[in-house]
Amino acid sequence: MLKGKHPPLITILSGGTGSVKLVRGLYNQFKDIGVISNVADNFWHYGLYICPDIDTIIYGLSNNLDKNKGWGFKKDTFNFLNHMKSLGIMDTWFNLGDKDLTTHVIRTNLLKSGKNLSEITNILSQKYGLPIPIIPASDDHYETNMLTNDNRIMHLQEYWIKYRGLIPLKDVFYKDIKKVKPSFKCSQILEESKLIVIAPGNPISSIGPIMEIPGMKSILHKFRNKIVMVSPLISNKAISGPSENYLKAKNIQPDLKGVINFYSKITTNMIFDKVDKIEIEEKIKSIYPQINFYFTDIIMNNFKKELSLARYIVSEFY
């Protein structure tokens, strides 16, 4: 918890690109929020510790995010990366902007000085002027890895960025997750918040790595009545990103029913788009009598719609 601050009243389980719009909407509408960020995207690159989802949230809330890309620092330059590319010695598939690079250098040096990821994220959040807690789901390192059909194993970032997600997948798994525990502040914030919102991030690569931390499902199940999930799918298709492919790789039905089943053990409240109301009420609702289904416009393709969905969540559940 930020020193001297009371616990946030709304906490969001968040990935990066697929989650930041809702996080930004709630922050601008309600202010009194906290964010638990996925950390299984984290990886070492050029000797630097990079946290894509954490940084997307920090940049997004501090108005520094490149909104066109959905990642990285706005109006960034790429002199470092271009010069690295010109030398032709090291691979340059990961897009590191010059301003973005500063964040990674600071984080890496703080890690080497003995600070943990929660402490470092708090320092960076304050430097970017954010008065809310952004909390890593864990201070331990673990990774979302992809197993391809030709039996190659690679980090999610390499699969998605270097190979553009084009290699057929056999499985997605969380390397070293059995050694991981929730960060202290993560457990604390979940207990003390009045409402917990699951952002519409990728269920497998953004929210799944948080849920699968040992002990986390039990914690979330305990608070299931104050948890609300915002669907990452509309009309059985991903709003953005590769959710369907990753669900298939985990042998989960890549549609509305599959998403409902995936989250049904940890929440009793789910929000879907209005276009899915008929299908859910006629074909799915009776299978899940413990779930309260809500319907509204969940597309957030502009700031007004981010605020609108945030207002809906606060009015319905807070």
- Report the residue count for the chain: 318
pLDDT at 284 over 90: yes
Residue-wise pLDDT for 46-92, tens only, equals 999 999 999 999 999 999 999 999 999 999 999 999 999 999 999 99
User: Which whole number is the average pLDDT over 17-44?
Assistant: 95
* pLDDT mean across residues, the chain: 95
Instruction: Mark residue 287 as left, alpha or beta (left: phi above 0; alpha: psi -120 to 50; beta: remaining).
Output: alpha
**Entry pTM:** 0.95
Q: What domains does the chain contain, in order, with CATH numbers?
A: 10-141+176-317 (3.40.50.10680), 143-174 (no CATH)
What are the C-alpha distances in Å from 110 to residues 42, 49, 54, 129, 142?
A: 16, 10, 16, 19, 19
